[in-house]
A = this chain, B = another copy of it.
Amino acid sequence: MGERIFASYWLETGDDPQRAAEVIAGEQSSGTFVALPTETPELKRRSGARVERLEVIERVNTPSLPGGMQSDVYTRCALQISWPVENLGPSLPNLMSTIAGNLFELRQVSGLRITDVQLPPSFAEAYPGPAFGIQGTRELAGVSCGPLIGTIIKPSVGLSVEETAQQVRELVAGGIDFIKDDELQADGGYCPFDERVSAVMRVVNEEAGRSGRKAMVAFNLTGDLDQMKRRHDHVLAQGGTCVMVCLNSVGIVGLQAFRQHSQLPIHAHRAGWGYLSRSPHLGWDYAPWQKIWRLAGADHLHVNGLRNKFSESDESVIAAAKAVLAPAMAHKPMPAMPVFSSGQTGLQAEDTYRALGTADLIHTAGGGIFGHPTGVSAGVEALREAWIAAMKHIPLTQHAVTSRPLSQALEFWR
């Protein structure tokens, strides 16, 4: 009783900002477009959403999004709204309808982006969050400090089962910590999931028998729920230690139901994130989005990478990673591991470490490892040494004096 949910927004409106904020709070709780006699003051006090904060940022002359009300001036604001949990119960799907439902379609809105969400303790009781998180992942991967050095099987799709296993053979012989399927690799006829997993795990288990340390492979088991469960069981039976799920492709209920079944860390891919975030005037910031998925069970969350090949700024990448590392709730942190990828080499280690202050992350590189002139093993070692330098605050060129693989890597990393 008395618990509230708080969501923050960047709002642009052609209306009076206070009125627009009240319309949003109304539409998302007890109000509607026409005044109703049954919406009594008592009902409104009990169930109405509340405008907690409204700060004008700036005014502009043209609306960012079409379809809203016409005006000479559009006001941009920081808005915070709160809801009684009592309205919906501690439910992530119903949280979505409440904080990110119809409001984006309102005529009062010419720009709306959700920037934060704060959830009360009842949500932590309903959703246990990541089953493995940082600590559990480190234990399974046998990496007690520093980042997990990882890579992605490439080409994304099109390799046969045997070609995939051959690529994994090179990687595990080279001492890699982490390998993942591309998000496009699923259960196609040319490279069926079960056969791929069996062939890859045979290679991984053999190498683990030799080295005493088992590389973690995130197999993309994205699919319908019964398929995901069955595939998970196959991965587990073959001795696998991780599975991958594309979050936007399955949805919150899919992840939550899978989390209840899973005995392995869930590597969460954000494919489709662009359509949720690419307009600065619409959609989602990463902070609230990743929090919902963490509660639903994501152990690792993709955050792109510094100086990536996509369109995201470094500032946005670091903000995303910090959000993943920040406590989900004060009394229940539910830590997850950020995953850096896209155009990554050891050159990004220093800046990444400096920005985050931790190496509790997975750093995946493709060309940065495979491109090493003396092979995959040296590529993995070079990336690991670059992180040692970063964590010891030693300039990369200075540390390279002590590591031949690193000094060679500095020739082709750029």
Contact = CB atoms under 8 A, between A and B. Distances in A.
Interface string A79-109: 0000001111101111011101111111101
A22 interface: no
A106 B223 contact: no
Contact of A157 (B87, B107, B188, B254): B87
Given A86-B190, A96-B249, A155 B254 contact: no
Nearest to A342: B33
Contacts of A136: none
A252 interface: yes
Nearest to A189: B86
Interface string A294-315: 0000000000100001111100
Interface string A112-123: 100000000000
Interface stretch (A36-44, A172-180, A204-212, A332-340): A36-44
A372 to B, nearest CB: 13
A239 interface: no
Give the number of times this chain occurs in the complex, counting copies: 2
Contact of A272 (B97, B190, B248, B313): B97
Contacts of A102: 183, 271-272, 274, 310
Which of A32, A48, A93, A98 lies at the interface centre, i.e. has the most chain B CB atoms within 10 A of its CB?
Answer: A93
A67 interface: yes
A104 B282 contact: no
Nearest to A33: B309
Contact of A184 (B39, B101, B112): B101
Given A47-B157, A224-B253, A103 B274 contact: yes
A395 interface: no
Secondary structure at the A interface, as helix, strand, loop or mixed, is loop
A34 B107 CA distance: 45
B272 A100 contact: yes
A379 interface: no
A29 interface: yes
A315 B374 CA distance: 61
B155 A31 contact: yes
A155 B46 contact: no
A280 interface: yes
A223 to B, nearest CB: 5
23 contacts: A31-B156, A32-B156, A33-B343, A34-B371, A38-B167, A44-B158, A46-B190, A66-B280, A86-B188, A88-B187, A94-B246, A97-B184, A101-B271, A101-B272, A104-B274, A105-B273, A105-B274, A224-B256, A228-B253, A249-B252, A250-B253, A253-B254, A276-B276
Most chain B CB neighbours (cut-off 10 Å) among A44, A86, A102, A367: A102
A311 B275 contact: no
Interface string A148-159: 000000111111
Interface in A5-34: 28-34
A294 B308 CA distance: 36
Of A48, A184, A256, the most chain B CB neighbours within 10 A belong to A184
A65 interface: yes
A283 interface: yes
A202 interface: no
Contacts of A98: 184
A36 to B, nearest CB: 6
A166 to B, nearest CB: 9
A34 B310 contact: no
A360 B173 CA distance: 62
Contacts of A46: 158, 190
A366 interface: yes
B279 A65 contact: yes
B224 A275 contact: no
A278 interface: yes
A281 interface: yes
